[in-house]
Amino acid sequence: MTDMDVESLPDDAAQLKSMMKQLIREHQLDKEQLEHRLAMLLRSKYGPRSEKLDPDQLKLFDLGREDVDETGDEPAEEDDKPRPPRLGHGRRRLPADLPRTRVEHELPEGDQQCPCCGKTRKRIGWETSEQVEYEPAKLYVIEHARAKYACGDCEENVVTTPKPAQPIDKGLAAPGLLAAIAVGKYGDHLPLYRMEEILGRSGLSVSRSTQCDWMRRIAELVNPVVSRMKSEILASRVIWTDDTTVPVLDPTQSKTKTGRMWVYIGDLRHRYAVFDYTPDRKGARPREFLGEYSGYLQADAYSGYDQLCDHGNMTEVACWAHARRKFHEAKDSARVGATHALNLIGQLYGLERKASKLDAAARRQLRQKHAVGKLEAFASWLDQQSVEILPKSPLGKAINYARNQWTALCRYTEDGELSIDNNLSERTIRCVAIGRKNWMFAGSDRGGQTAATLMSLIATCKLLGVDPYRYLRVLLTELPRRQTDHLEEFLPDRWLQAHPEAKLTDHGKQK
């Protein structure tokens, strides 16, 4: 109710009582919403980011603990097979493929004498230990010497051996240096001014503006490969997608504007990750990328995806991790109801641990047999709570979110290739969130497109376990010398088949 003049209040006691009840309900709701916002702000600044569910809470409210998932990602259901022992915190054995240099240490001659008889002691073996050394990146100059020929009689008609095609024509940087800068910025999240300092310590002075131009040039070179990856993704039965913000310098003002970076990931037969930069978040942006795609689209609850699925050939698959997060945020104001919902969602994730070890057909069968019944019970609980809980309360908003997305949330049980959540794309697009904390912003919309192209290759390498530096170095060496109508061999997964030595080991996996 709005503020009103005292004189306008009714004289009837029943009406006054009704108005007071409504005012008290509104005041209580406003208080709960303010307390919820305060709790969320304090948790985001000082609290843990984990969404673990304390199992003791389930005992307190007599909710049981069947198949409870404590993390939202990893279900807590026990596996039939014994788990491998956890690695200790001690020193691990060094990789066998690291180069080794043997340094032998001999006793001084004075210490080789036996203290008993005075004779020289004989060496009976070696006691070895290992230590890791590090050398900074090594720069060297490639001097291209091109033979020149001329007629011996007329001393004319001079011809010079052509120089092999380079990633940047007449450019200073060779493929290895370009690959190192690209992986440094878009894989290791190093801003170009830090790369400038790193290269400077090795004896090379290259400004960040020059490096920025290099990145733009090689992005244009490799763009046909990324376009081919996009075509492969659009042939998938399932596409995972997500988006996040990117600050971009606005040339018309002395501040940044907000651009968007989208990621699209194909299924296991087309496991590529392609980023797409757009200057805004209009619903037309994913439509421009996806075109006439027909298949499953696994995403969050962004309304632009709803429009695509309502008016196209795409089928929406929602994310249980997003639904779970809503209930987790409501725990402070409605602990019993939110904890009960988290327990039910945990049971669904508990089934997914067992399902993850099965093929698609068996996974679907397991979900149909066990998950469908749990979802029906969950739906009944949501319907009951929607009548009793205030819709604008934190728990009410979580319930409404789940009910509004319910059909899409249950769709993962229809096909074994679908996922229970959209965490695959969220993990992949995390490189943008980490990167913008370091390089802060893109210099322009064109810079955002450059970042999207190079991130596509590096993120795909991460998904497939490919060394991104070795891949990019070969790509930037070979692509200028090849025809762009034969790009299959340059796709990261097919390139890895021909170069298995570029497979990342457990020690070389990116974070």
DSSP assignment of 377-410 equals HHHHHHHHHHHHS-TTSHHHHHHHHHHHTHHHHH
Q: For the purposes of burial, counting CB atoms within 10 Å of the CB of 201, is it exposed (0-12), middle (13-18) or buried (19 or more)? A: exposed
- In sequence order, the β-bridge partners of residue 503 are 466
Closest CA to 130 of 95, 157, 164: 95
- In sequence order, the β-bridge partners of residue 258 are 247
Within 78-217, strands assigned E span: 148-149, 159-160
**Model confidence over 175-205: pLDDT tens digits?**
999 999 999 999 999 999 999 999 999 889 9
d(CA 19, CA 74): 49
pLDDT for position 120: 87
Residue 240 is which amino acid?
A: W
pLDDT < 70 stretches in the chain: 1-7, 26, 29-30, 32-33, 35-90, 483-485, 506-511
User: What's the pTM?
Assistant: 0.82
pLDDT for position 46: 58
SS3 176: helix
Q: What is the CA angle 77-83-87, rounded to 5?
A: 125
Q: For tokens 């399902």, name the residue.
A: 355
DSSP assignment of 229-282 equals HHHHHTT-SEEEEEEEEEEEE-TTSSSEEEEEEEEEE--GGG--EEEEEESS--
Structure tokens at 12: 């009837």
pLDDT for position 6: 66
d(CA 247, CA 374): 42
d(CA 115, CA 403): 87
**Model confidence over 93-144: pLDDT tens digits?**
888 878 899 999 998 888 888 888 888 888 889 998 888 888 888 898 999 9
Residue 273 is which amino acid?
A: A
Torsion of the alpha carbons at 492, 497, 501 and 505, rounded to the nearest 10: 70
pLDDT for position 76: 43
pLDDT for position 499: 93
pLDDT for position 82: 55
Q: How far is CA 191 from CA 68, 183, 219, 275, in A?
A: 42, 11, 17, 19
For residue 460, give every residue at least 6 positions away whose Cβ sits within 8 Å of its Cβ, in sequence order, or none.
Answer: 229, 271, 272, 273, 274, 466, 492
